[in-house]
């Protein structure tokens, strides 16, 4: 079985944690017999913007090719115009991918399935490639591709066209499945395969990070929709509480400025990147992990924290309510700093057992995820 994945959500030498949940899902599949894959992870390119944008300057440092986990990963550059929603990123991405395919598949050696991770523009680009080579297509819906892009007319039309062509859709939560059905996607085409964790890394026996002071933890890209700013606002109203934020992104400077303006510099620590092992130690030592996202599919942050026995405080969006309940955390009905403040102040009154918390997600393992996804591919081939 030869799989070609097309997605912008994949780690690279410059962004080692970018799309790590996609990498981890396939790492488990790499252990299966008769499974081979290549990855095309296009990188946006705009020479005029890169002159003034640190993010686009960073993109220019991504190599054209890498060997990651003994897998060939290609990073063709695709032209884009940031800020112009009418620009056809999917076609540009597909064009770049097609050039790469012509270079890496020689002597009629080809792939059995195109795997498109994230519906837009990645999944639409994958559809264009699959159609050109007359190959089956499997798409994976991950969160904002459904919750955001499907609400916009043009992307929705293109996504539904790609779904119609596809042989199957994977959703990482039941909430995403229900949303797609509401848009008219046939239920029989959808398979829910929730994300997993590596139990060798994330488990309740992990030795906690030896920090002397109690802290809360927030993990995720530093972008507005993740809601880190709401956590800072809540923290400012509760004396003595400490917070560690793990992640990087375009909001980094803004969040640092907010931290200083709120007088929290001595109570908030920013960490850009951590290995999975070190991250597990931070989860294990945290009083609770906080997630204030505006939209989500099934965040691995939640599964990882719970697996280490650490409760989660999260806004009830996407599939979070499918795993967080009163036995392992606090679901917030309103995504604002006031309800979060109440949760933080009342957390000590709640009795959480680390063993019980860990057991609530014991069924979510990458090995099980891999087996189910492999069977889906096999049935399609």
Residues 328-354 pLDDT 10s:
999 999 899 999 999 999 898 888 899
Peptide bond into 121 cis (omega under 30): yes
Tens of pLDDT, residues 50-107: 666 777 888 889 999 999 999 999 999 999 988 787 789 999 999 999 999 999 987 6
**Architecture field, domain 2-196+365-380:** 3-Layer(aba) Sandwich (3.40)
Domain with CATH 3.40.50.2000 in the chain: 2-196+365-380, 216-359
Report domain 216-359's class: alpha beta
Measured distance CA(199)–CA(307) in Å, rounded: 8
Q: What is each CA distance from 173 to 195, 327, 336, in whole angstroms?
A: 8, 20, 24
pLDDT of 188 reads 95
* Interatomic CA distance for residues 12 and 325, integer angstroms: 35
Q: How far apart are CA 195 and CA 67, in angstroms?
A: 24
- Give residue-wise pLDDT tens across range 233-286: 999 999 989 999 999 988 999 999 999 999 999 999 999 988 899 999 999 999
Question: pTM for the full model?
Answer: 0.89
Q: What is the pLDDT of residue 53?
A: 75
Burial class (CB in 10 A: 0-12, 13-18, 19+), 253: exposed
Note the pLDDT tens digit of each residue in 184-234.
Answer: 999 999 999 999 999 999 999 998 877 778 899 999 999 999 999 999 999
Which residues have a Cβ under 8 Å from the Cβ of 122 and sit 6 or more positions away? 6, 7, 8, 9, 90, 93, 116
Rounded Cα gap, residues 235 and 267, in angstroms: 9
Whole-angstrom distance, CA of residue 378 vs CA of residue 264: 53
Stated as kind and residue range, the H or E segment containing 56 is helix 54-59
pLDDT for 165 equals 98
Does 27 or 109 have the greater pLDDT score? 27
Q: What is the DSSP letter of 202?
A: S
Q: What is the mean pLDDT of the chain?
A: 93
With beta carbons less than 8 A apart as the criterion, state whether 263 and 235 touch: no
At 358, is the secondary structure helix, strand, or coil?
helix
Q: Which residues pair with 330 in a beta bridge?
A: 313
pLDDT of residue 50: 67
Take residue 142 and report the two structure tokens written for it: 């991950």
């Amino acid at each position: 079985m030869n799989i070609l994945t097309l997605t912008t959500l994949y780690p690279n030498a410059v962004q080692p944690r970018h799309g790590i949940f996609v990498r981890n899902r396939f790492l488990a599949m790499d252990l299966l017999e008769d499974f081979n894959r290549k990855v095309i992870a296009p990188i946006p390119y705009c020479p005029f913007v890169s002159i003034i944008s640190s993010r686009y300057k960073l993109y220019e440092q991504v190599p054209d090719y890498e060997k990651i986990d003994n897998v060939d990963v290609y990073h063709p550059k695709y032209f884009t115009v940031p800020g112009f929603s009418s620009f056809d990123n999917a076609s540009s991405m597909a064009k770049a991918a097609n050039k790469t395919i012509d270079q890496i598949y020689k002597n009629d050696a080809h792939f059995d399935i195109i795997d498109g991770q994230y519906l837009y523009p990645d999944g639409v680009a994958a559809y264009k490639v699959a159609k050109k080579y007359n190959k089956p297509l499997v798409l994976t819906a991950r969160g904002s591709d459904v919750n955001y892009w499907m609400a916009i007319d043009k992307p929705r039309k293109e996504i539904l066209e790609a779904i119609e062509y596809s042989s199957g859709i994977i959703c990482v939560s039941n909430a995403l499945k229900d949303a797609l059905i509401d848009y008219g996607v046939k239920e029989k085409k959808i398979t829910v395969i929730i994300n997993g964790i590596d139990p060798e890394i994330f488990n309740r026996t992990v030795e906690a990070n030896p920090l002397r002071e109690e802290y809360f933890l927030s993990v995720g890209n530093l972008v507005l929709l993740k809601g880190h700013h709401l956590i800072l606002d809540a923290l400012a109203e509760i004396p003595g509480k400490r917070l560690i934020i793990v992640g990087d992104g375009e909001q980094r400077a803004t969040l640092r400025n907010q931290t200083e303006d709120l007088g929290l510099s001595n109570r908030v620590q920013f960490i850009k990147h951590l290995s999975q092992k070190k991250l597990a130690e931070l989860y294990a030592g945290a009083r609770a992990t906080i997630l204030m996202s505006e939209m989500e599919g099934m965040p691995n942050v939640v599964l990882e924290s719970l697996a280490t026995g650490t409760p989660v405080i999260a806004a009830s969006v996407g599939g979070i309510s499918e795993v967080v309940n009163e036995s392992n955390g606090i679901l917030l009905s309103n995504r604002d700093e006031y309800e979060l403040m109440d949760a933080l102040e009342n957390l000590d009154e709640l009795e959480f057992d680390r063993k019980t918390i860990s057991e609530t997600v014991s069924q979510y393992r990458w090995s099980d995820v891999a087996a189910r996804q492999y069977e889906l591919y096999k049935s399609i081939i």
